[in-house]
Amino acid sequence: MTHDVSVELDCRGLVCPRPVIELARHLGDVVVGDLVAVVAVDPAARYDVPAWCRMREQEYVGADTAADGVARYVVRRLS
C-alpha cells in the first residue's frame, strides 16, 4: 500500500543519522495531520525513523516503497 504523502524526502544517498536529520528539518514543511515520507536505502532508517517518531511524539505510519522500489518510511505530523 502506498500512502498519499504531502512531502517526500529523497535520502537515497544519505547514511545514518542523516535521513532522520532531514526528517526533523522538514517536518515543519507540512501541516499537522499531513504525511511526510523518507525514502532511504540506508538499512538503519528502518529502525531510526520509528525511533525518532517515538522520541518526538510523531506518528510512524509505516513503510511502503517509492516508485523505483526503494524503501519509504511514512510519518504523520502530530504537532
Query: What is the secondary structure of 19-79 as a DSSP string?
Result: HHHHHHHHGGGS-TT-EEEEE---TTHHHHHHHHHHHHT-EEEEEEE-TTS-EEEEEE---
Per the annotation, the verdict on 11 as an active-site residue is no
Catalytic-role residue among 7, 16, 61, 66: 16
- What one-character DSSP code corresponds to residue 17? T
Query: Which are the catalytic amino acids?
Result: 16
